Structure 1
Amino acid sequence: MSTVTPTPETYSLETGWKTLAVAGGSIAVLGVLAMVLPLAVGVAVSYIVGGLLIVGGLVHGAHVVSAKGWMGSLWQLTLAIVSLVAGIVIVVNPIIGLLSLTLMIVAYLLVNGIVELGVSLRMERGSGRGWIAASGVLSLGLAVLLWVQFPEVAAWIVGFMIGASLFLTGLSMVAVAYTGRQPVEDITPPAGEPRGT
């Protein structure tokens, strides 16, 4: 039975933190650009979703053709038609995709808020219950705000949220990189070399 011995080339955050910091900084910059140009990002996402739906519809259609006599063929055919139609509609008019994605965000925030409030009610006092409840209230508040502003908000909310997510991801990567780097004072000279030379 052979054992794997670590090699000197094994990645370490203490030595590779600069690469992670640069990658995180780049992602954060992309996030800022997405927040500055939310409509362009939202339209691009709509095209991607539309394209994926078309591909999914074609895959379902191919499965219906190849699996003749299968009991679920009718459902597969229905999924194929729905996916193809939805994908084509979104690709032809990406604003419809933005409206749909915005409604999905509203639904997510609504469900997330209700679940977090429900969880907070079951938690014991002093166990972070207040933070969970506050997060739930915030999610519900955002859902209501987006719903009241719908459909005007659809022009920017998808791109802005993607940008904000990228920005926060980039910042967290930079923070991890700087936290994991080896401090200068921890670097000691090799044995045999006098200190201070």
Structure 2
Amino acid sequence: MTAFPTSSSPLGEAARQELGRIRKNWIWFLVLGILTIVLGVFLIATPLLGSLAAVWMISVLLIAGGIVQFVGAFSTKGWGGFFLSLLAGVLYVGLGVLIVDRPVTALEVLTIVIALSLVIGGLSRIIVAASERFYGWGWTALSGGISLLLGVMIWRQLPTSAFWVIGLFLGIEMLFTGMTWVMLALGLKSLPKPESS
């Protein structure tokens, strides 16, 4: 059975010093967590704004990725994948510009993808849980049922759901991420101060 490294071992000493350095900055983890929670609550309260911001960010990333593909293609003209890289750049930039030009349509398409993912993922979990009957299969089936129900609800509320689903999900994600940072910060603060060597 492997034991954790002791503080006398080189690995244990390095881990102790690193933990001491991180502990000194616990307040920054707390600030990051609080800011993330505030942003998450704001996105939950204004899901349309969050949805549009997410779509805008996707378009920026696609355009940036397309530009990188162009640069890569023209910097290696002799490479056999030149035209493939060039085509990928055109597609990325074209899709990014299309999303900027038609953000509402992009919201609807992304919401349909989310709804389908929830339905397929929920059905998969239900089928696997019911057929395998492993330990805790009921919870897995319940989780699958909730995903399935959520996906169907989103699907049935289209196109209205396109204006709030992405922003709401993003806000919930940021809320829980912020809580994680806050808990990490409080955990670091409660650690004993490292002994001065």
Q: TM-score range by the shorter chain?
A: 0.7 to 0.9
TM-score, with normalisation over the residues of structure 1? 0.75
The count of aligned residue pairs is 181
Cα distance change, pair 174–99 in 1 and its aligned pair in 2 (3 A) = same
TM-score, with normalisation over the residues of structure 2? 0.75
1:189 corresponds to which residue?
A: none
Q: Note if contact 1:102-1:158 (Cα within 8 Å) is conserved in structure 2.
A: yes
2:3 corresponds to which residue?
A: none
Cα distance change, pair 99–25 in 1 and its aligned pair in 2 (3 A) = same
Which stretch shifts more, 102-111 or 82-91? 102-111
1:88 aligns with 2:103: no
Q: How does 1:43-82 map to 2 (within 5 A)?
A: 43-68=52-77, 70-82=79-91
Q: Note if contact 1:46-1:98 (Cα within 8 Å) is conserved in structure 2.
A: yes
Gapped regions of structure 2 (runs ≥ 5):
1-8, 193-197
Q: Note if contact 1:109-1:142 (Cα within 8 Å) is conserved in structure 2.
A: yes
Q: Note if contact 1:31-1:164 (Cα within 8 Å) is conserved in structure 2.
A: yes
Taking the aligned partners of 2:17 and 2:66, their CA distance within structure 1 comes to 48
Cα distance change, pair 8–28 in 1 and its aligned pair in 2 (3 A) = closer
Paired letter, 2:116: A
Taking the aligned partners of 2:25 and 2:78, their CA distance within structure 1 comes to 57
1:100 corresponds to which residue?
A: 109
Cα distance change, pair 113–8 in 1 and its aligned pair in 2 (3 A) = closer
2:47 corresponds to which residue?
A: 38
Give the number of the structure whose residues are more often helix, by fraction. 2
User: What percentage of aligned pairs have identical amino acids?
Assistant: 30
- Provide the aligned C-alpha RMSD in A: 3.0
- State the 4+ residue runs in structure 1 displaced beyond 6 angstroms: none
Cα deviation for residue 181 of structure 1 reads: 5.4
